[in-house]
Amino acid sequence: MDGVSFSVAPGEIVGVIGPNGSGKTTLFNSILGQIKPTSGRMRFMGEDITGMSPLALSRRGVGRTFQTLQVFGSLSLRDNLIVAAQEFVRGMPSRLFAAPDAGLGAQADAMIALFGLERVAHLPAGSLSYGQQKLADIAMAFMPRPRLVLLDEPCAGVNPGLVDGLRELLLRLNKTQGGSFVVIEHNMDFIMRLCPRVICMVEGKVLAEGAPEAVRSNPAVLEAYLGN
């Protein structure tokens, strides 16, 4: 990446688009401390978070999903959701003596209902279909009620018929939880209808930034990514 600079307001949803290899996931990995940038700084809620570990960032309210499926395969879907938030409940020693669901059962059930996964809630997450695991993956990121969520291709592998529903879900979570989202996605229809602001990256640089329609009709974006 080179000279990438942008900010996200509280509650804002920002889309990041660009061809494969343009640096979108590298951007996420840099923000989340998985890649250390050679220069530049990242700030979250006024604090310099450059190079912080994913653990430290999660404690500050930064969550993410990954491009590939990242559920805990041997745990039930419900347990996946509980483990996604349990580490934010009380101190580590006291969690040994906490209720098995760490007091998060009702919250997990509500999230399962929101994502329409009730039928498979008690099955091992690894045995679910790709689409169900993808939804579980996204639901997990929202369990700790993060202040910033980085969603890496949430539509990838999701049945086209469910994409609209996923967009509605994200909008509802944005409204109810109030966090900010940064969303990487190749599904243009999805991202244009979800994000009031879109950033287009090409070869590690920001090529265009602004309202979805303005970015979509930008001649440079058309040439480098969307085509005519």
Partner 1 sequence: MKAKLGILVLVLALAAAPLGLKNYGVYLLTLWCVYVMAGMGLNLTVGYAGQMSIGHAAFLGIGAYTAAILIKAGASFWLVTPLAALNCFVVGLVIGFPALRVQHHYLAFATLGFNMLVYLFFRNEEWLTGGTFGISGIQRPAFFGFSLDAPLPFFYFTLLSTILLAAVLWWIIRSPWGRAFAALRDNPIRAESLGVNIMAYTLLAFAIGAAFAGIAGAYFAALVQFIEPGPFHLVTSLMMLLMVIVGGSGRFFGPMLGAAIVILLPEWLRVLKDWYLVMFGLAVVAMMIWLPGGLLSIPERLRFSK
Give the whole-angstrom CA distance, residue 122 versus residue 211: 42
Which residue's entry shows tokens 């409204």? 175
Q: For partner 1, which is the closer residue by CB, 61 or 210? A: 61
Give the whole-angstrom CA distance, residue 50 versus residue 53: 9
Q: For partner 1, which is the closer residue by CB, 52 or 200? A: 52
Give the nearest distance from C-beta 57 to partner 1 in angstroms: 8
Residue 207 DSSP SS3: strand
Give the nearest distance from C-beta 53 to partner 1 in angstroms: 7
Q: For partner 1, which is the closer residue by CB, 98 or 113? A: 98
Give the nearest distance from C-beta 138 to partner 1 in angstroms: 13
Residue 99 DSSP SS3: coil
Q: Are 117 and 77 in contact (CB under 8 A)?
A: yes
Give the nearest distance from C-beta 56 to partner 1 in angstroms: 10
Of 186, 190, 139, nearest in space to 162 by CA: 190
Q: For partner 1, which is the closer residue by CB, 44 or 225? A: 44
Q: For partner 1, which is the closer residue by CB, 4 or 83? A: 83
Give the whole-angstrom CA distance, residue 82 versus residue 219: 46
Q: For partner 1, which is the closer residue by CB, 22 or 58? A: 58
Which residues of this protein are in contact with partner 1, per CB under 8 A? Answer: 32, 53-55, 58-59, 63-64, 66, 70-75, 79, 82-89, 92, 95-98, 100, 102, 140, 143-144
Give the whole-angstrom CA distance, residue 219 versus residue 200: 12
**What residues have CB less than 8 Å from 80, skipping those under 6 apart?**
71, 72, 125, 136, 140
Give the nearest distance from C-beta 61 to partner 1 in angstroms: 10
Give the nearest distance from C-beta 96 to partner 1 in angstroms: 5
Torsion region of 227: left, alpha or beta (phi above 0 gives left; psi -120 to 50 gives alpha):
left
